[in-house]
């Protein structure tokens, strides 16, 4: 599904797009599962009303633990094999999955950040696949990435997203740095973005800096769904500053990630 050139692009740029990654059948099933989570959210929901009072954001994480369709997709879709190929590793485990649904008329942006500072892991082999059952454009909240930023070696201090209910503030980690005001100096950065058709996916590294605009459309939803996988070199990390909903008391610093929280997905 990916060429040697794609794998090199991922290594060099920290981001790429794979077209038609998710089949129409999977998209239909995932769209239904998203509606189930909106109607009856899994425990880590963090939603908020849009700042203009019209739209709405629905975020949630670890939804695969509560819905068979998300579970089946994370464990048995073509993604695990692809993750192994992209990360060039023999074994792959699921890290977790996440929903980012911006309903029509939700102007709240997703601020610039990189993901690894939020996660209780260290190591290099981590990849996220983000896709949507909706067409995604700049106007509806396409993701933007700073090409090559995964090589900066920087862990940016996590902050809460939007006016999120149920998400505590993050502890300060002295080894993290603050995110610069990227939007004030966009010309200084190599910012890349792509429109997506339903089933196309952004594939990006955990250290790649990214963000997104709001969904300014009145007629199009932007139901983002991300699945994240780790490879052989990843270990559990108890450093401060990570998301408490992703931590587990059953892992010690330096442990390998294992089932049941991080199930092995490759080889299948």
CB of 90 to ligand AKG, least distance (A): 25
CB of 224 to ligand AKG, least distance (A): 4
CB of 104 to ligand AKG, least distance (A): 15
Nearer to ligand AKG, 67 or 115 (CB): 115
Q: Which of 9, 77, 108, 110 binds ligand AKG (CB under 6 A)?
A: 110
Binding residues for ligand AKG restricted to 203-232, rule: CB under 6 A: 210, 212, 224, 226
How is residue 215 annotated by DSSP? B
DSSP code per residue over 138-180:
GGGT-EEEETTGGGS---BPP---TT-TT-PPPPP-TT-BPPP
Binding residues for ligand AKG restricted to 21-50, rule: CB under 6 A: none
The runs of H, that is alpha helices, within the chain are: 4-13, 24-39, 68-76, 79-87
Say how far residue 3 (Cα) sits from the centre of its chain: 23
CB of 246 to ligand AKG, least distance (A): 12
Residue 115 binds ligand AKG (CB under 6 A): yes
Residues 232-261 vs ligand AKG: string with x where CB under 6 A? ------------------------------
CB of 11 to ligand AKG, least distance (A): 19
How is residue 257 annotated by DSSP? P
The first and second tokens of residue 159, run together, are 């902050």
Q: How far apart, in Å, are the Cα atoms of 92 and each of 76, 229, 233? A: 12, 7, 10
Residues 48-87 vs ligand AKG: string with x where CB under 6 A? ----------------------------------------
CB of 226 to ligand AKG, least distance (A): 4
Preceding peptide of 12 cis, ω within 30°: no
Nearer to ligand AKG, 204 or 262 (CB): 204
204 forms bridges with which residues in the sheet?
15, 128
Rounded Cα distance, 59 and 152, in Å: 28
Whether the CB-CB separation of 249 and 141 falls below 8 Å is answered with no
CB of 209 to ligand AKG, least distance (A): 10
Nearer to ligand AKG, 126 or 261 (CB): 126
Q: Which of 77, 128, 140, 215 binds ligand AKG (CB under 6 A)?
A: 128
Nearer to ligand AKG, 4 or 189 (CB): 189
Q: How far apart, in Å, are the Cα atoms of 57 and each of 80, 183, 210? A: 28, 22, 18
Phi-psi category of residue 35: left, alpha or beta, with phi > 0 → left and psi -120 to 50 → alpha: alpha
Instruction: Give contact residues for ligand AKG (rule: CB under 6 A).
Output: 100, 110, 115, 128, 130, 210, 212, 224, 226
């Amino acid at each position: 599904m990916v060429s040697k050139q794609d794998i090199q692009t991922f290594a060099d740029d920290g981001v790429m797009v794979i077209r038609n990654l998710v089949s129409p059948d999977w998209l239909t099933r995932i769209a239904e599962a998203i509606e189930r989570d909106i109607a009856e959210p899994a425990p880590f929901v963090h939603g908020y009303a849009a700042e203009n009072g019209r739209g709405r954001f629905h975020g949630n994480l670890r939804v695969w633990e509560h819905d068979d369709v998300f579970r089946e997709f994370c464990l048995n879709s073509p993604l695990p094999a692809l993750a192994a190929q992209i990360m060039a590793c023999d074994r792959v485990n699921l890290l977790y999955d996440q929903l980012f649904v911006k309903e029509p008329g939700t102007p709240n942006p997703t601020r610039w950040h990189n993901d690894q500072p939020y996660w209780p892991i260290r190591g290099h082999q981590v990849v996220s696949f983000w896709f949507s059952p909706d067409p995604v454009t700049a106007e509806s909240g396409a993701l933007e990435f700073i090409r090559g930023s995964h090589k900066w070696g920087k862990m940016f201090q996590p902050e809460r997203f939007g006016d999120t209910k149920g998400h505590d503030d993050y502890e300060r980690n002295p080894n993290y740095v603050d995110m610069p005001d990227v939007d004030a100096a966009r010309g200084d950065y190599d910012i890349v973005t792509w429109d997506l058709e339903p089933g196309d996916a952004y594939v990006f590294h955990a250290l790649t800096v990214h963000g997104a605009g709001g969904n300014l459309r009145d007629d199009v939803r932007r139901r983002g769904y991300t699945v994240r996988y780790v490879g052989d070199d990843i270990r559990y990390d108890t450093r401060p500053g990570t998301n408490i909903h992703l931590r587990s008391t059953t892992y010690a610093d330096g442990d390998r990630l294992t089932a049941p929280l991080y199930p092995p997905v490759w080889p299948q």
